[in-house]
Amino acid sequence: MIGIKSYGAYLPKNLLSRNLISKAWDFPAIPGSKAIAGIDEDTITMSVEAGLDCMLGIDPKTVDGLFFATTTQVYTEKDSASLIATVLDLRENIITIDFTDSLKAGTTAMTRAIDTIKANNDVKSILVIAADTRTPEPSTMWEYGFADGAAAILIADDDKLPISIEDYYSISANTTGPWKRTEQDKFIRTFEPKTDAQFYFNSMRNVILELLKRNDLKPYEIGHAALYYDNPRMHARLAKSLKFPQGVAQNGLFFQIGDLGTPMPFMLLISALKRPKPDAKIILAGYGNGADGILMQVKDKNMVKELNKTHVALGYQKNMEALDNYSIYISNKKLLDKDRYTRKSSAVIVWRETDSIYQMYGNKCKECGLIQYPRMFTSCFKCRTTNNFEKVKLQLKGTIFTYTLDHLIGGEYYETPVPRCVIDLDGGGRILLDMTEIKNPENNVKIGMRVELTFRRIHEGAEFINYYWKCRPKRGRS
Amino acid sequence: MSKGGIKDKVAIIGADMSKFGERWDKNQYDLLVEATEGAFKDAGITKDEVDAAWVGIFYYFTGLSGTLVEDALRLDGKPVTRCENYCASGMDAFRNACFGVASGAYDIALACGVEKLMDEGGSGLPGFKIFGHPIYPLPSAPAMFCMAATRCMHEYGWTKEDLARVAVKNHENGLHHPKAHFKSPVTIEQVMKAPMIADPLGRFDCCAMSDGSAALIITVPELAESYAHSDDYILVKSNAISVYTMAPWYWPSYDFTHFPATVKACEMAYKEANITNPRKEIDLAEVHDCFTITELLNCQDLQFCDRGKAVEELKKGTFNWDGETAINPSGGLKSFGHPIGATGCRMITEITKQLQGRAEGRQVPNAKIGLAHNLGGAFSVCSVTILGKNE
């Protein structure tokens, strides 16, 4: 059986209230808020977070591929999937690919993952991750919608799975709107929002009707419908036209976290599965120049509940924090021209020290047993033995031993001063990490504080994006 | 340690320093000439009598290699070596020069240090964009020492006011030194209210960015008697350097309440100089006070008091100019700033003048044994030099 083995999600710490947007531009008020990535976050870092959540309790070496979907890829030449797979510590002999340029890239990646597993006896599972950080043009209505987040789904062929995948169907539609030209456009554009809405309605309706027809299903037989939308009114119209019973097509997320783009259908699915109905049929649908529909079924309600219990609740949704003002948002989105700080970097060093930098491996001294970091040091801190280490995976959590709040900083930071924290990792190893997502560090950083590691952008030295781990106050990763 | 050692094998016969400060109108060659000319004059020699030179320079933009000395002095192709060992660069230049004369290879050596920081602008030490590993976090210099401050506050209950007392003492001392960068007293309140640089250290807890140079002329004692200071040349009693990790934040179980390099270097230096009770035997010390916390911990690590007791002793006046062990009677880095390559030689120059009884306006009474100490990097490199009168 092919189906969903696990899922995970990530929402950044910041919530921007739509109230602040309407105040900034004197726009009509729209309720709710939307999720906003920090200045040190992008689709790669958020995908690592969603991937870590999804892979909880699963050996990353058992995964045979990583399919990444986004419309806001960090590079146009150089894929993102291989870096995400590296940080998640997947094997080298796997398939990695980026699905881009359409908002339905997430659901398309998922259907292609199913096909790949079907077609290859030696491919048993593929991790599908979708993430987006679409930047709306300030003072446009897009600003109310576009939000940031990531979601991950592990597709697997296994005897026992919480959710099975029964069928899928896609249509392609060459609609012009919205778009973003490769060279010219900083922001997404559209020709006529009303026709955009009509394109959405037609493609989504057609793909779902065909999926129901092919499987001889009536709308009332569908238990959960996770349908992409960027406009709550159109979503309601679509659900009504498809004759789904009340409550089947959930639509609260737009108000709570905004339109996440490619991860939105996954996020809607994970949200719907918070209360899984036994044996329920599920429709997952993505939209963008056509649509994908995927039919699934809850196979084991208890397994779904177990997933919900062990993983963070919808990407830390409970643990988000409202931004105090609109200017922090504008600054985080780099919409203000500022001199940007670049440290030197070296692609060679990053490659050579991948296990230490990206995968958080340390050294364990074979002589005295001391676990230490980083791996570039060649002699033991304690017994001084040279080159007699074994490589060990370090834990992504620990306790602050000492720290400072550094005002003399260069670079892009979430907030200053920057806490520089010396952390004793659980299970061994001591490390120095900057802290992110901390408000009022003068009052809130303490010796003995528990922290989690989170993968972030750090600078653009040598004109490529340099990533490393930071720490953050505990958000609740298991 | 080998049986050799340096004790009583090297004599300082000339010493001087430039004015320290924001020397916008002077370049590194000017500063070096200012210091070396003073030292040559003090020794009663000309530059042509120098057989070899060692120069402490930290930053590449001050000068790479020994050519800076050649271009300042035109030593006509004589050997010059640049020494770089973080904040101990200048004292390490002196140490290497000592070996040069003690070995018999040279009769007279010049040990000097220079740094031209202010050409790079004034907001913190330059170069952090290009130092070290490109990925792992690199705290600012104050942030490194703050990690110790935070931990000491936690372990010993020290307060920001306790740290401020170091700044107040050293600024007071600096008032009386003609070459100091700052000659202005500060109050505890001023120190505590200054803008934060790296929590808990504010602007007055940190030494300033300055330009400066210092120079020493050394020879062997047998030859010293034929130069200007035939009666009062100063003897090197020991000279030690200790190097530990650049990244103490990765050192599992390191307590951040002592500096291992200081402990190790002074252990070596005391053994060689045959000092068993540092607090009693050492009359004055120029101790690295790049930050207020640094001086406190160094006083403990140099065994001038027990661990955890530095604040108590400071309050009692033990470390005052006229206290039991005068710490930084010159005003220290707090008053001179820290032109990195120059600082070690500046300290040795200061101790020399004090032991010769020529520290006008700031003379520590009856000074016989003095110590100079640098600590650099992330408490990584420590050099200790002990000097004594020729008695």
**What is the pLDDT tens value at each position of chain A, 478 positions in all?**
999 999 999 999 999 999 999 999 999 999 999 999 999 999 999 999 999 999 999 999 999 999 999 999 999 999 999 999 999 999 999 999 999 999 999 999 999 999 999 999 999 999 999 999 999 999 999 999 999 999 999 999 999 999 999 999 999 999 888 999 998 999 999 998 889 999 999 999 999 999 999 999 999 999 999 999 999 999 999 999 999 999 999 778 999 999 999 999 999 999 999 999 999 999 999 999 999 999 999 999 999 999 999 888 787 888 899 999 998 898 888 888 766 667 889 999 999 999 999 999 999 999 999 999 999 999 999 999 999 999 999 999 999 999 999 988 765 565 779 999 999 999 999 999 999 999 899 999 999 999 999 999 998 888 899 999 999 999 987 6
Same domain, B41 and B87: yes
Give the domain-ending residue among B194, B224, B254: B224
Same domain, B78 and B186: no
Q: Which residues of A touch B157 (CB under 8 A)?
A: none
pLDDT given for residue B138 in this prediction: 87
Same domain, B244 and B149: yes
Q: Is residue B49 part of a domain?
A: yes
Q: Is residue B131 part of a domain?
A: no
- B256 and A401 in contact by Cβ < 8 A? yes
Dihedral Cα A391, A394, A399, A400, nearest 10 deg? 60
- A417 and B149 in contact by Cβ < 8 A? no
Q: Which residues of B touch A410 (CB under 8 A)?
A: 128-129
For chain A, give every domain's residue range. Answer: 2-332, 347-473
Give strand ranges (E) for A273-353. 281-287, 290-298, 321-322
Which DSSP letter does residue A463 get?
G
Residue B180 has pLDDT above 80, yes or no: yes
Nearest to B19 by CA among B178, B205, B226: B178
Q: B311: part of which helix (H) or strand (E)?
A: helix B310-316
Burial class (CB in 10 A: 0-12, 13-18, 19+), A214: middle
| CATH at B308 | 3.40.47.10
The residues of B whose Cβ lies within 8 A of any Cβ of A are: 123-124, 128-130, 133-143, 146-151, 154, 195-201, 245, 247, 249-254, 256
Same domain, B113 and B176: no
Q: Which residues of A touch B249 (CB under 8 A)?
A: 422, 430-432
Judge whether A464 is closer than 8 Å to chain B, CB to CB: no
Sequential DSSP letters for A62-131: G--EEEEEESS-S-SSS-SHHHHHHHTT--SSSEEEEEESSTTHHHHHHHHHHHHHHH-TT--EEEEEEE
* Vertex B138 angle, CA A346 and A445, to 5°: 135
Domain tally, chain B: 2
Nearest to A348 by CA among A327, A376, A370: A376
Distance CA B84, CA A49 (A): 43
Confidence of residue B75 (pLDDT cuts 50, 70, 90): very high
Q: Which amino acid is it at B75? A: L
Candidates B129, B139, B247; nearest CB to A342: B129
Q: Is residue B232 part of a domain?
A: no
Instruction: Give the A window 351-390 contacts with B, CB below 8 Å.
Output: 353, 357, 370-374, 376-377, 381-382
Range of the domain at B86: 11-122+210-224
Same domain, B59 and B166: no
Q: Is residue B95 part of a domain?
A: yes
Helix (H, G, I), strand (E, B) or coil at B123: coil
pLDDT given for residue B1 in this prediction: 46
* Active-site residue (options: B87, B98, B207, B382): B87
The distance of A418 to chain B (nearest Cα, Å) reads 9
Inter-CA distances, A233 with A30, A102, A236, Å: 13, 22, 5
Q: Is residue B136 part of a domain?
A: no
Other CB atoms closer than 10 Å to residue B48's CB: what's the count? 11
Same domain, B194 and B99: no
Which homologous superfamily is A2-332 in?
Answer: Thiolase/Chalcone synthase (3.40.47.10)
pLDDT given for residue A251 in this prediction: 75
Active site residue B299: no
What lies within 8 Å, CB to CB, of A150 at 6+ separation is A9, A10, A43, A46, A47, A49, A50, A129, A130, A131, A132, A263, A315
B235 forms bridges with which residues in the sheet? Answer: B11, B388
- A406 and B148 in contact by Cβ < 8 A? no
Nearest to A228 by CA among A311, A315, A110: A110
Q: Is residue B75 part of a domain?
A: yes
pLDDT given for residue A408 in this prediction: 82
CA dihedral sign, ordered A118, A119, A124, A130: negative
CA dihedral sign, ordered A328, A332, A337, A339: positive
Same domain, B219 and B270: no
Q: Is residue B22 part of a domain?
A: yes
Same domain, B104 and B173: no
Distance CA B257, CA A84 (A): 39
What are A326's two structure tokens? 């609109």
CA dihedral sign, ordered A260, A266, A269, A271: negative
Same domain, B94 and B27: yes
Same domain, B66 and B117: yes
Same domain, B276 and B302: yes
